[in-house]
Amino acid sequence: MPARAVEHSCAVPNCVRPGRNQIGVRCRVAHSGASPFPNKRRTDAFWSLESPMYLCDEHSLAGGRVQLAFEPAGTHEIVVESECLGAIYEDRAKPIRQPLEEAA
């Protein structure tokens, strides 16, 4: 049985179209050398996290500006904070699996 469809609103304030496209962030291996994860090759992700923001088809294709700021934390988790034209969304956080955990 297919999963029930969940309706999301477009993140753009006052847009009445459904948000069918989710914005996410990922950190990919961008080299062919050795990495902390022996099983991860070029273009595999160290981590990825979906934001709570969805865009309608029109806003997804119309283009926009994404501001990306990375602040080192040393917490072994990745946190995404999301905002669209003053509308603030809940933070999303995900632990980053460490190489020793990957081998276990």
Please check the confidence at residue 8 and state whether its pLDDT lies above 50: yes
Q: Can you give the pTM of this predicted structure?
A: 0.77
What is the tens place of the pLDDT at every residue in 51-75? 999 999 999 999 999 999 999 999 9
What is the tens place of the pLDDT at every residue in 71-91? 999 999 999 999 999 999 999
Q: What angle do CA 67, 70, 72 make, to 5 degrees?
A: 165
CA distance 13 to 43: 34
φ, ψ of residue 102 to 5 degrees: the values are -65, -35
